[in-house]
């Protein structure tokens, strides 16, 4: 395939779609599937058949539409009007969508999401632009929306150093949590000497509650492949790996999807040798992890790809110098790589106009917690936390008040109400003791117990520690035990001193980011909610009610319940 | 060989380019505490005892991994480092079961010696005291998980020097355990050559010779250098030995 054939393929797909008066897209991402989207899709197809409308209506699975808490979601595209978005679609509603909305032109008001719905109004969908509008299994649909144009443009009109420069100018920073400038990293790998080079897409995504990368891969796999091929061209690599987390329900489905996407890209000469008739060749293969959080850490990830125990090694040497099998290796997060085609298509200047001085572009968050609306959101950097919570999230659930937002999962920290007006920005978050992280955003209400939150995340880190270095292996266990005692009301003030001491030690002496960042939730909850810790210790009392001790154990003893 | 100069605790020392800070400091007569490192084995970086401060960097670096550089400024014994080293030992002592009075290595143990050297006189953390099984299935040696500090010296010695790779790690985090073979009793592993290198390099009483009683086990981790030197000189290589003998 060459550039002209790519355009022809896009054209013929558009024409195919035009033949239908309506396209009904049913979200088939993990969250909607677990809410019953499989059945909904079947019902949609069945009622199209029952009404003999196969020529007029196309029913198709699609990616995530955003409002995951109100799934299953369905979008109706009509040739003569705007898209209609439906929430909470049951098989019964699905039947009505075909028979009432489409045939009788009377939409089902109960399930419709109005086009000015605040959840969507403040978002800016760049990386998720096509998510929910295409069938991820069909390569043609991505191409019809301009897919692989960026790759064709880069291969024809740009040198590798120009590509790196463009990424650098865009201000894109690593979305995997560290926020390292992507352009700098690409240039490092480009300048590294090596007879081979590799590109790895990090799709380990182990933070509890985060599903940004999973959704990107599920909803638009070709966007990732295109980004990886551009990265490969820019740094001089000929082989890419997608490191996917395995070992959880639904993993094999995702792998099949990715495999299909890679194969169809190869068949169409967009991966493999001499891509788009250029001199550049690039292959992509999948590597499956066994489901360990630490394998998201780049050196552990590479060990796992090479078939070893997923365990970090000290850096330097950095992967950009000596990575897979000793060759220079570029490791980027799925969201970083999925942003690449957008940057090339829209131009680095336009991308860098979005955001703050230090943080550019858009960021995807998995918004969760005690909010009216939750789901996957993409917002411009620089938007305030208040806007996310109260406009996009629709505010707290009835009767609850905002207490704090936990960002960055087990490596991040909490942001209390006094900082609600903080802008989404890597440095500003760091200043107040939290981190943007990879995009988990959990909103907590006044009933959440902060020591219990810290305990939850420490338990996660304790279970996920690889056990290589002493501060993390034993430190996570010891801090967990202290936190457990605090939440049970049986700790002393001495324990609190011990806890803080150990936290600082773990931060400074652990080998990898897991151990170094594991104490962050403790330190940030201590920073803003120390009184809660002290209440547990001194008064044997939990000011919130979600915690295990709601009453003093001594009181229980006095009452004869102890 | 290029020689570089670096400042260690305000004194200038010279080192060969390519050496680690640990090697350079030890060559110049200084010392940095280590536990997982052993001359002759690959570096591991797990115990974090050898952490040092580098001028101009807020981060601590493991001396066993850090390459010397011209003009490098190194501090090996700042208050912060001394404090953290003590904490590492405290954490290790709290992790399993280190009751020296009933240990075969009492008096010869590297962990015990390190605790004494660093002045660890109490352990502030709760003893976890897991009840772990012993493995006495091997005809010559015993493995006591309760004394293991997971330094992986046994693993590296067996893999890198003996070439058997009997040892590995199962589980992760606090549940990590050394295992033999495919997690089978040591005595049933048919790749074990019974050379005993793992026992010699183990810093604690986790690996010992059968029949040793309290304080009777003495180890000689230096034997590794010996093996390696011998290999380099071709002591066990008939052809090399013949030529060398001919030269004498
Ligand atoms: C314990 C740990 C877990 C990590 N998990 C992930 C992950 O799941 N996905 C990811 O992209 N990066 C993860 N990272 C960050 C990676 O090490 C690496 O910095 C990142 O993939 C680089 O890509 P980026 O620059 O595009 O963010 C993790 C880091 C640590 C220390
Ligand atoms: S910090 Fe934790 S996860 Fe990282 S190397 Fe050490 S033990 Fe392993
Ligand atoms: S058995 Fe000995 S050498 Fe092996 S890991 Fe345990 S303490 Fe280290
Ligand atoms: S000796 Fe360097 S980390 Fe153990």
Q: Full-prediction pTM beyond 0.90?
A: yes
Tell me which DSSP letter residue B96 carries: S
What pLDDT shows up at residue A562? Answer: 38
Specify the DSSP element, H or E, that contains A162: helix A160-170
Q: Which residue of B has its CA nearest to A460?
A: B173
Residue B150 CB less than 6 A away from ligand 3: yes
Residues of A in contact with B88 (CB under 8 A): 470-471, 509
What pLDDT shows up at residue B233? Answer: 73
Decide if B84 and A502 are in contact by the 8 Å CB cutoff.
Answer: no
Residue-wise burial string across A101-122, b where 16 or more C-beta atoms lie within 10 A, e elsewhere: bbbeeebbeebebeeeebbbee
The CATH number of A450-553, from 1.10.600.10, 2.60.260.20, 1.10.3720.10, 1.20.1440.230, is: 1.20.1440.230
A355 phi and psi angles, rounded to 5 deg:
110, -165
Residues of B in contact with A472 (CB under 8 A): 173
The CATH number of A362-445, from 2.30.110.10, 1.20.1530.20, 3.10.20.600, 3.10.150.10, is: 3.10.20.600
CATH class of the domain at A3-121: alpha beta
CA distance B52 to chain A (A): 10
Chain A interface includes B10 (CB < 8 A): no
pLDDT digit string, tens, across residues B29-84: 999 999 999 999 999 999 999 999 999 899 999 999 999 999 999 999 999 999 99
In CATH, the architecture of A146-351 is 3-Layer(aba) Sandwich (3.40)
Tell me the CA–centroid distance for residue A79 and ligand 3, in Å: 70
Domain residue ranges in chain A: 3-121, 146-351, 362-445, 450-553
Which residues line ligand 4 at a C-beta cut-off of 6 Å?
Answer: B 34-37, 45-50, 62, 64
DSSP A182-194: HHHHHHHHHHS--
B83-227 shares the fold of B3-77: no
What's the rounded Cα separation, in Å, for the pair A373 and A122?
13
Tell me the CA–centroid distance for residue A364 and ligand 4, in Å: 39
Report the SS3 class of residue A376.
strand
Residues of B in contact with A294 (CB under 8 A): 172
Query: Along the 248 residues of chain B, how does pLDDT read in single tens digits?
Result: 799 999 999 999 999 999 999 999 999 999 999 999 999 999 999 999 999 999 989 999 999 999 999 999 999 999 999 999 999 999 999 999 999 999 999 999 999 999 999 999 999 999 999 999 999 999 999 999 999 999 999 999 999 999 999 999 999 999 999 999 999 999 999 999 999 999 999 999 999 999 888 888 888 888 888 788 877 777 666 676 677 667 66
B positions 55-94 inside 8 Å of A (CB):
59-60, 62, 65, 80, 83-84, 87-88, 91-92, 94
Q: Quick check: bond before A72 cis, omega within 30?
A: yes
Which one of the ligands is nearest to B172 CA? Answer: 2
- If we measure between CA atoms, which residue out of A375, A370, A393 comes closest to residue A69? A375
Q: Which residue of B has its CA nearest to A467?
A: B173
Q: Which of A314, A467, A481 sits opposite B176 (nearest CB)?
A: A467
What's the rounded Cα separation, in Å, for the pair B1 and A506?
38
Query: Can you tell me which atom of ligand 4 is nearest the CA of B37?
Result: 1
Residue A467 CB less than 6 A away from ligand 2: yes
Decide if A465 and B45 are in contact by the 8 Å CB cutoff.
Answer: no
Q: Which fold has domain B3-77?
A: Ubiquitin-like (UB roll) (3.10.20)
Q: Which two tokens stand for residue B226?
A: 């010996």
Decide if B46 and A463 are in contact by the 8 Å CB cutoff.
Answer: no
Most A-contacting residue of B94, B114, B159, B173 (CB-CB within 10 A), to test interface? B173
- If we measure between CA atoms, which residue out of B88, B90, B73, B66 comes closest to residue A509? B88
Decide if B172 and A481 are in contact by the 8 Å CB cutoff.
Answer: no
Domain residue ranges in chain B: 3-77, 83-227
Task: Please answer whether residues A470 and B148 qualify as being in contact, where contact means their C-beta atoms are separated by less than 8 angstroms.
Answer: no
Most B-contacting residue of A474, A475, A491, A495 (CB-CB within 10 A), to test interface? A474
User: What is the average pLDDT value for chain A, to the nearest integer?
Assistant: 93
Residues of B in contact with A459 (CB under 8 A): none
Q: Residues of A at the B interface (Cβ-Cβ below 8 Å)? A: 292, 294, 309, 313-314, 462-478, 481, 498, 501-502, 505, 508-511
Residues of A in contact with B59 (CB under 8 A): 508
- Of B152, B170, B205, B221, the residue with max ligand 3 atoms within 8 A of its CB, to mutate for a pocket test, comes to B152
Task: Please answer whether residues A217 and A202 qualify as being in contact, where contact means their C-beta atoms are separated by less than 8 angstroms.
Answer: no
Decide if B169 and A502 are in contact by the 8 Å CB cutoff.
Answer: no
Q: Which two tokens stand for residue A528?
A: 């803003």
User: What is the average pLDDT value for chain B, to the nearest integer?
Assistant: 93
Chain A interface includes B171 (CB < 8 A): yes
What's the rounded Cα separation, in Å, for the pair B61 and B50?
8
A308 phi and psi angles, rounded to 5 deg:
-100, 175
What's the rounded Cα separation, in Å, for the pair B6 and B125?
38
A243 phi and psi angles, rounded to 5 deg:
-95, 105
Residues of B in contact with A510 (CB under 8 A): 48
Q: Which two tokens stand for residue A466?
A: 């690889």
Tell me the CA–centroid distance for residue B155 and ligand 3, in Å: 8
Q: How many residues does chain B have?
A: 248
Report the SS3 class of residue B84.
helix
Decide if A478 and B126 are in contact by the 8 Å CB cutoff.
Answer: yes
Q: Which fold has domain B83-227?
A: Alpha-Beta Plaits (3.30.70)
What's the rounded Cα separation, in Å, for the pair A272 and A260?
14
Which one of the ligands is nearest to B178 CA? Answer: 3
Task: Please answer whether residues A200 and A305 qualify as being in contact, where contact means their C-beta atoms are separated by less than 8 angstroms.
Answer: yes
Residue-wise burial string across B114-127, b where 16 or more C-beta atoms lie within 10 A, e elsewhere: bbeebebeebbbee
What pLDDT shows up at residue A554? Answer: 52
Q: Where are the alpha helices (DSSP H) in chain B?
A: 21-27, 79-95, 110-118, 153-156, 197-201, 223-233, 238-247
Q: Which two tokens stand for residue A131?
A: 């998510």
Place of tokens 């009777």: B216
What pLDDT shows up at residue B240? Answer: 67
CA distance B130 to chain A (A): 13
A453 phi and psi angles, rounded to 5 deg:
-60, -45
Residues of A in contact with B63 (CB under 8 A): none
pLDDT digit string, tens, across residues A38-81: 999 999 999 999 999 999 999 999 999 999 999 899 999 988 88
Decide if A474 and B60 are in contact by the 8 Å CB cutoff.
Answer: no
Query: Along the 562 residues of chain A, how does pLDDT read in single tens digits?
Result: 788 899 999 999 999 999 999 999 999 998 899 999 999 999 999 999 999 999 999 999 999 999 999 989 999 998 888 899 999 999 999 999 999 999 988 899 999 999 889 999 999 999 999 999 999 999 999 999 999 999 999 999 999 999 999 999 999 999 998 899 999 999 999 999 999 999 999 999 988 888 999 999 999 999 999 999 999 999 999 999 999 988 666 778 888 889 999 999 999 999 999 999 999 999 999 999 888 999 999 999 999 999 999 999 999 999 999 999 999 999 999 999 999 999 999 999 999 999 999 999 999 999 999 999 999 999 999 999 999 999 999 999 988 999 999 999 999 999 999 999 999 999 999 999 999 999 999 999 988 999 999 999 999 999 999 999 999 999 999 999 999 999 988 899 999 999 999 999 999 999 999 999 999 999 999 999 999 999 999 988 888 876 766 555 555 555 554 3
């Amino acid at each position: 395939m060459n550039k002209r054939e790519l355009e022809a393929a896009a054209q013929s797909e558009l024409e195919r779609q035009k033949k239908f008066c309506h396209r009904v897209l049913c979200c088939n991402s993990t969250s909607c599937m677990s809410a019953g989207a499989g059945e909904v899709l079947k019902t949609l197809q069945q009622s199209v058949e029952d009404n003999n409308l196969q020529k007029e209506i196309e029913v198709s699975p699609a990616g995530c539409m955003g409002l995951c808490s109100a799934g299953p979601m369905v979008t109706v595209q009509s040739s003569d009007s705007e898209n209609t978005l439906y929430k909470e679609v049951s098989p019964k509603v699905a039947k009505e969508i075909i028979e009432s909305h489409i045939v009788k032109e009377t939409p089902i008001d109960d399930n419709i999401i109005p086009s000015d719905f605040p959840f969507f109004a403040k978002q800016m969908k760049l990386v998720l632009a096509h998510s929910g509008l295409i069938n991820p299994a069909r390569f043609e649909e991505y191409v019809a929306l301009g897919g692989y144009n960026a790759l064709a443009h880069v291969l024809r009109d740009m040198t590798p150093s120009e590509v790196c420069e463009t990424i650098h100018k865009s201000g894109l920073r690593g979305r995997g949590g560290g926020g390292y400038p992507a352009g700098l990293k690409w240039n490092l790998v480009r300048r590294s000497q090596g007879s081979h080079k590799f590109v790895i897409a990090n799709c380990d995504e182990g933070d509890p509650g985060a599903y940004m990368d999973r959704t990107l891969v599920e909803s638009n796999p070709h966007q990732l492949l295109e980004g990886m091929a551009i990265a490969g061209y820019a740094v001089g690599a000929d082989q890419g790996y997608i490191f996917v987390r395995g070992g959880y329900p639904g993993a094999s489905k995702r792998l099949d999807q990715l495999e299909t996407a890679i194969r169809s890209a190869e068949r169409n000469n967009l991966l493999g040798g001499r891509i788009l008739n250029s001199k550049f060749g690039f292959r992509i293969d999948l590597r499956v992890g066994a489901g360990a959080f630490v394998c998201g850490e780049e050196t552990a990830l590479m060990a796992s790809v090479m078939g070893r125990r997923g365990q970090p090694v000290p850096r330097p040497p950095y992967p950009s110098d000596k990575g897979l099998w000793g060759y220079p290796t570029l490791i980027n997060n799925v969201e970083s790589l999925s942003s690449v085609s957008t940057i090339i298509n829209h131009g680095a200047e336009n991308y860098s106009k979005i955001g703050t001085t230090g943080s550019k572009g858009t960021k995807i968050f998995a918004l969760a917690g005690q909010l009216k609306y939750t789901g996957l959101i993409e917002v411009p950097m620089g938007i305030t936390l208040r806007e996310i919570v109260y406009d996009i999230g629709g505010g707290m659930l009835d009767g609850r008040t905002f207490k704090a937002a936990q960002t960055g999962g087990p490596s991040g920290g909490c942001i209390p109400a006094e900082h609600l007006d903080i802008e989404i920005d890597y440095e500003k978050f760091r200043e107040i003791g939290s981190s943007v992280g990879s995009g988990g955003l959990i909103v907590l209400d006044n009933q959440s117990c902060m020591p219990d939150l810290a305990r939850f995340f420490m338990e996660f880190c304790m279970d996920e520690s690889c056990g290589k270095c002493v501060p993390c292996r034993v430190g996570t266990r010891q801090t967990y035990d202290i936190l457990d005692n605090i939440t049970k009301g049986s700790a002393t003030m001495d324990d609190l001193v011990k806890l803080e001491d150990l936290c600082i030690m773990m931060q400074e002496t652990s080998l990898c980011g897991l151990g170094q960042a594991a104490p962050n939730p403790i330190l940030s909850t201590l920073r803003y909610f120390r009184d809660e810790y002290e209440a547990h210790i001194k008064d044997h009392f939990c000011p919130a009610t979600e915690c295990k001790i709601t009453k003093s154990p001594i009181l229980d003893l006095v009452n004869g319940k102890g | 060989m290029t020689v570089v100069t670096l400042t260690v605790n305000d004194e200038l020392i010279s080192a060969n380019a390519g050496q680690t800070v640990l090697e350079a400091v030890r060559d110049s007569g200084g010392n940095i505490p280590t536990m997982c490192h052993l001359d002759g084995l690959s570096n591991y970086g797990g115990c974090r005892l050898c952490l040092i401060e580098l001028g101009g960097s807020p981060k601590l670096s493991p001396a066993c991994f850090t390459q010397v550089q011209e003009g490098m400024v190194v501090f090996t014994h700042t208050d912060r480092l001394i404090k953290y080293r003590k904490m590492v030992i405290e954490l290790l002592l709290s992790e399993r079961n280190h009751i020296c009075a009933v240990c075969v290595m009492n008096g010869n143990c590297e962990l015990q010696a390190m605790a004494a050297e660093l002045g660890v006189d109490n352990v502030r953390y709760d003893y976890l005291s897991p009840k772990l099984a012993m493995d006495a299935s091997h005809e010559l040696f015993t493995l006591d998980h309760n004394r293991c500090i997971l330094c992986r010296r046994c693993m590296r010695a067996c893999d890198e020097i003996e070439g058997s790779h009997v040892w590995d790690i199962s589980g992760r985090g606090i549940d990590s355990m050394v295992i033999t073979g495919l997690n089978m009793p040591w005595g049933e592993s048919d790749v074990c050559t019974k050379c005993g290198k793992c026992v010699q390099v183990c810093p604690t009483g986790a690996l010992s010779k059968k029949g040793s009683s309290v304080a009777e086990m003495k180890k000689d981790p230096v034997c590794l250098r010996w093996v390696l030197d011998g290999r380099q000189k071709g002591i066990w290589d008939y052809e090399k030995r013949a030529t060398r003998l001919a030269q004498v």
